[in-house]
Amino acid sequence: MQIVILAAGRGTRMKDLTDSVPKPMLEIKGKPILAYKIEALPEKVEEVIFVVGYLGGQIQEYFGDSYAGKKISYVVQEQLNGTGGAVQLVKDLIKDDFLLMMADDLYMKKDVEKLMHHDLAMLGLEVDDPKKFGIIYLNKDGNLKNIIEKPDISGPAFANIALYKLNKKFFDYPMTLSERGEYEIIQPISSMAQDFSFHVEKATDWFPIGNPEDLKKAEDIIDKFI
């Protein structure tokens, strides 16, 4: 199976830490975030496709054509037009089923493995502050109905934490520009959920690395994610 990892962003909330290093290459205990993520992938994931952009050459130089027993491929996102725009760039490289994740979030290996057992699936986590997240709504069968970005509701609610199991049918669903002027992943995924059963798996744990304080906290918890 293939996995697409989106690693093109600037990481502005990291301030001067990303002046000369792409955010996914920032180190936790002397090793880049991305290295931990690849090393924790299940054996059935045979190829990693990076979508790179800002200082992406550093990612290519570090990982080369293979790493941790997995083939590595690269696509360059020259125009940072959103996560949806990034995924569209890999269309011709995708064989069939694939995983999709963000480069700077830490996921549990067993949660990745759970998603792989479904045709279509995504990972969610209960949160108390839904206004900060894309929120997952379920249909009467307990599968995905749609995803609403930062709804004005009170918690708790089930947040989308951006780890997906998809297939080539994903690329059949059109995207339109969001209010932010970007193409979003959640639009075609919500559309797919109207035509297919789209499983929602509850995450065991998740740690997004968004700022320098998160990077420091990651040193204390990284061992449970590998």
Q: How confident is the model at residue 42 (pLDDT cuts 50, 70, 90)?
A: very high
Query: What pLDDT is recorded for position 188?
Result: 95
Nearest to 136 by CA among 127, 146, 128, 126: 146
Q: Is residue 129 part of a domain?
A: yes
Domain that holds residue 23: 2-220
Kindly report the CA angle at 212 between 19 and 147, in degrees rounded to 5?
Answer: 100
Q: Is residue 226 part of a domain?
A: no
Q: Is residue 51 part of a domain?
A: yes
Instruction: Tell me the CATH number at 148.
Output: 3.90.550.10
pTM of the model: 0.96
What confidence tens digit (pLDDT) does each residue in 141-170 have? Answer: 999 999 999 999 998 999 999 999 999 999
User: CA–CA separation, 146 vs 161, rounded Å?
Assistant: 14
Q: Phi then psi for 223, rounded to 5 degrees?
A: -60, -30
Asked if the bond preceding 156 is cis, omega within 30° of 0, the reply is yes
Residue 108 has pLDDT above 90, yes or no: yes
User: CA–CA separation, 205 vs 103, rounded Å?
Assistant: 16
Q: Is residue 19 part of a domain?
A: yes
Three-state DSSP state, 37:
helix
Q: Phi then psi for 41, rounded to 5 degrees?
A: -70, 145
As given in the structure block, the two tokens for residue 200 are 């929602």
Average pLDDT of span 75-87? 94
Mean of per-residue pLDDT scores for the chain:
95
Residue 6 has pLDDT above 90, yes or no: yes
Question: Domain count of the chain?
Answer: 1
Query: What pLDDT is recorded for position 211?
Result: 95
Query: What pLDDT is recorded for position 178?
Result: 84
Query: What pLDDT is recorded for position 181?
Result: 84
Average pLDDT of span 104-131? 96
Q: In the beta sheet, which residues pair with residue 74?
A: 50
Q: How confident is the model at residue 22 (pLDDT cuts 50, 70, 90)?
A: very high
Query: What pLDDT is recorded for position 10?
Result: 85
Query: What pLDDT is recorded for position 80?
Result: 87
Q: Is residue 225 part of a domain?
A: no
User: CA–CA separation, 126 vs 160, rounded Å?
Assistant: 9
